[in-house]
Amino acid sequence: MSKKTFGMFSKDGDKIINAIVLAAKANKYDWDMVEHLLEGIATIDGFEEATDTEVREAVYVELYENAEVA
């Protein structure tokens, strides 16, 4: 089960970031692509924190440190 909070300031923000995490896992996005997506979200009013260190670290941990080993 994926993490539900990523340090965004709202539940809607966390839902958007969770969708990015799920897409990144499903499509095996590299970190550059994930950062690009976070930067895009940060341009939307109300979601500027998407590139904050806390959010980026939470996403990275979910994608790479909590990755299931095959």
Query: What is the pLDDT tens value at each position of the chain, 70 positions in all?
Result: 445 799 999 999 999 999 999 999 999 999 999 999 999 999 999 999 999 999 999 999 999 987 665 4
Cβ burial, residue 13 (10 Å; 0-12/13-18/19+): buried
Domain ranges for the chain, please list them.
11-65
What is the pLDDT at residue 1?
Answer: 43
User: Which residues neighbour 39 within 8 Å (Cβ) at sequence distance 6 or greater?
Assistant: 50, 51
Q: Name the pTM for this structure.
A: 0.87
